[in-house]
Amino acid sequence: MSDAYVTTEKRLALEERMTKLGVRESDLVENFILGAGSGGQKLNKTSSCVQLRHIPSGLEVKCQRERSRELNRFLARRELCDRIEERILGQKSARQQEVEKIRRQKRRRSRRQKERMLDDKRKHSAKKQSRRSHPLES
């Protein structure tokens, strides 16, 4: 990988992490594909999206976060290490936790919760209505 986009310290740290996890460059299949989504002409013309497959584990990562192919190569390797580590340690990634949080937020309320919430709203509304000054009473 080129040093133009990633500092030497970060590159060495990633290589050390890959060694610890037992990920070798020879186990990786790397493809460069056209990215998808917004980005216009630059995105449609250049193959800066990196598709990285780790043959022993079968994990596959795509990265098109940045415009630079070299930076995307680095980020894809880092993401692959995260996923392998997650598999080994059995931890849920921050991304999975975020997805679960959103799922919980979108979940419908139970009938009892909804009734209680609406009842509280009615009480609050009645309280505010009683505070209103009525011009006809003056």
- Examine residue 73 and state whether it is found in any structural domain, yes or no: yes
pLDDT digits (tens, 9 = 90+) for 92-124: 667 778 888 999 988 888 999 999 999 999 999
Domain count, the chain: 2
In 1-138, alpha helices (H): 8-21, 40-45, 69-89, 94-106, 111-131
Same domain, 59 and 115: no
Place of tokens 């009525």: 134
pLDDT in tens, 57-93: 899 999 988 888 899 999 999 999 988 888 877 666 6
Do 30 and 67 lie in a common domain? yes
Tell whether 80 and 115 lie within a shared domain.
no
Q: Is the pTM of this model over 0.85?
A: no
Distance CA 38, CA 99 (A): 22
How far is the C-alpha of 50 from the C-alpha of 61, rounded, in Å? 8
What is the domain extent for residue 119? 97-127
Structure tokens at 80: 């692959």
Residues 111 and 43 in one domain: no
Residues 32 and 76 placed together within one structural domain of the fold: yes
Is residue 39 included in any domain, yes or no?
A: yes
Contacts of 81 (CB under 8 A, 6+ apart): 14, 17, 18, 21, 23
Question: Are 108 and 87 part of one and the same domain?
Answer: no
Looking up residue 70, the CATH number of its domain turns out to be: 3.30.160.20
Count the Cβ atoms, other than its own, within 10 Å of residue 65.
15
